Amino acid sequence: MFLSDQPQQNFFGFRGSGARQSSSRRFFFSAALLLLSLALCLGGCRRQDPSAQISDIGFYFDTVVELRLNGTDDQSLIDECFDKMKEYEALLSRTREGSDVWRINHSAGEPVEVSDDTAALIALAQKYYELSDGAFDITVAPYLTIWDFPNNPGKVPAAASLAAARIHVGLPLLRLEGNTVTLDDPRASIDLGGIAKGYIADRLKEYLAGKGVTSGYINLGGNMLAIGTKPGGVPWNIGIRRPFGEASDTITTVKIDGLSVVTSGPYERYFEKDGTIYHHILNPTDGYPVQNGLSSVTILSRSSADGDALSTSCFVLGLERGMELIESLDGIEALFITDDEELHYSSGFPKE
């Protein structure tokens, strides 16, 4: 209707000036669109340059972490990821006073309201406790306190100390109702170290995907999570560390596209005494380091949290029971390495 009215107004002597105003408006409107397009290009096109690449390292969760993003030079994406890591560390650390985990462990059996992330992690831990017949148990914290691997100069705890702690270990001692966590045993405590890094990696990948990142990787101290492939569709080639070798000494490699690679092994934190290696992967049934002939377990999965929990579960279960568990799960593959450095692959593991 407006367009049909415009000529009538112009008919009364405003056609010329009206035409000039319309042309002027079109000019300024076009100029504004051009400036907006230039601004968007400066702010966004540059970050979508396929040849661009950024990477950075930090120190979180008591380990070195690395992020690499392809097709962008927006450093704020990595900075935001580091900020998120800092927040998760403050939320999930067992030793950080005021964290959700610290409050649970110091609750004296009283209910504790926790964040959505903490509740989700504990629910996932309960799932893997059941799936692994108790091999994955976040209530092993009393054992970890006794061993104190980060500060232990090589002292093996007294058997009586571990036996006394045993009655305070077992996930049924924990109740999760919505976002409320209750430890029915006031002397029980939890540690989310066996699953937290994988969960955090998954959340970081979700964030980056939402920002349009389609290529890169997140490495949280051995928890490697790929974002798509390398530029050009080339799979990532991930080295599997030789147990007790140097960090750069690989025993094999695996090519992945968007998958998580998580390895658990006794070489990550241990000491040796009288010819025996005492490491941080503890058997929930007695509190002693697992000794079953395995040197490492590597899990391939879509979810890094799944890989985190399963790598620990399978190490505790051992080669036979661990492999049986993996073969029962869809979309999960594993590589078990025994003490003699023999490689044992699940049926669908992509060998080099």
User: What proportion of the chain, given as a percentage, has pLDDT over 90?
Assistant: 82
CATH architecture for segment(s) 52-352? Roll (3.10)
In the predicted structure, residue 191 carries a pLDDT above the cut 90: yes
pLDDT digits (tens, 9 = 90+) for 76-115: 999 999 999 999 999 999 999 999 999 999 999 999 999 9
What is the model's pLDDT at position 48?
59
What is the model's pLDDT at position 268?
83
Please spell the DSSP secondary structure of 111-145, one letter per residue. -EE--HHHHHHHHHHHHHHHHTTTSS-GGGHHHHH
Confidence of residue 194 (pLDDT cuts 50, 70, 90): very high
Distance between CA 144 and CA 169 in Å, rounded? Answer: 11
One-letter amino acid for residue 334 of the chain? A
One-letter amino acid for residue 317 of the chain? L
